[in-house]
Amino acid sequence: MRVYYCLTVLLAASAIVAVPASAAITRLASDDRAAVLNQKFDVALTTSSIPKCVRDAFASTVGTKAFAMADPGQAFQSSAFSYNGKLPYYRLVFAGRSDKYYVIEALRGGTTPGSVVFLFTISAPKKDTTFVIHQVHGGVPHTGGALVFDSTPESAQLVWYASEQVTGGSLDSVRKAIQDDKMTDTGFDVTVPVTSDPSSPGNLSPMATINKAW
């Protein structure tokens, strides 16, 4: 009986620790920082609004086979005590897009619940290009046009993520936390345990984890 009690206390203690005691932003490049603080972002509150390229990049970052994130207010694996392998490990707070950046603030569940901010760069495909063609037929010049389509899809790449001391809840709050250095971007793991990945079969135990160093 005493063993089970101690195990419960340890699990409860681990669930409280979301952010290292000394918060510090050390990996956010100056250009990326300026973009987050100053660029205009169109904010969205649904996961369906997140572009496919960002969804794929997010899944790769957290180590899941497919993108899985609950919308605001929906159920997710909010802690080790609410484990349900069919629920997402993350829940969206908000997302925002500028011309070249995409930011996501999300709640993280599991044994170390908290909130994380993810920043991606987006490379848009080149615009379709029109070429003017000049030809001569029988001494008579002719001018024609050709439209070349670029079918290259958008791509997204993770450039930074950080754990928050307090969930911002809005772009302005996230910006203030960055300005005040109230986040930490080292010493924590954003990877979803295999057993908590809804897209992974056989997710039976919430205790198995994958460690991914940042």
Of 194 and 34, more confident:
34
Provide the token pair at 37.
């603080």
Query: What tokens were used for 179?
Result: 């300005």
As a whole number of angstroms, the distance between CA 141 and CA 155 comes to 42
Choose the weakest-confidence range: 49-53, 175-179, 193-197, 201-205. 201-205
Q: Categorize the per-residue pLDDT at 210 as very low, low, confident or very high, splitting at 50, 70 and 90.
A: very low
Name which residue leads in pLDDT, 24 or 195.
24
Q: Which residues of 89-123 are buried (b: 16+ CB within 10 A; e: fewer)?
A: bbbbbbbbbeeebbbbbbbbbbbbbbbbbbbbbbe
Give the model confidence (pLDDT) of 105-136 as tens digits.
999 998 888 999 999 999 976 555 555 555 65
Q: Which of 51-65, 123-137, 141-155, 196-210 has the lowest mean pLDDT?
A: 196-210
Confidence of residue 85 (pLDDT cuts 50, 70, 90): confident
Percentage of the chain beyond pLDDT 90 is 54
d(CA 102, CA 123): 11
DSSP string, 141-195: EEEEEEEE---PPPEEEEEEEEEESS---SHHHHHHHHHTT-EE-SS---PPPGG
Alpha-carbon distance of 65 to 58, in angstroms, equals: 10
* pLDDT of residue 21 exceeding 70: no
Q: Can you tell me the distance from the alpha carbon of 40 to that of 2, in angstroms, rounded to the nearest whole number? A: 56
Write down the number of H helices and E strands in the chain: 4, 8
Quickly count: other Cβ atoms within 10 Å of residue 201's Cβ.
9
**pTM > 0.75: yes or no:** no
| Helix ranges, 17-51 (H) | 30-38
Question: How many percent of the chain have pLDDT more than 70?
Answer: 65
In 57-128, the DSSP E strands lie at 90-97, 101-108, 114-123
- The mean-pLDDT minimum among 96-100, 131-135, 202-206 falls in 202-206
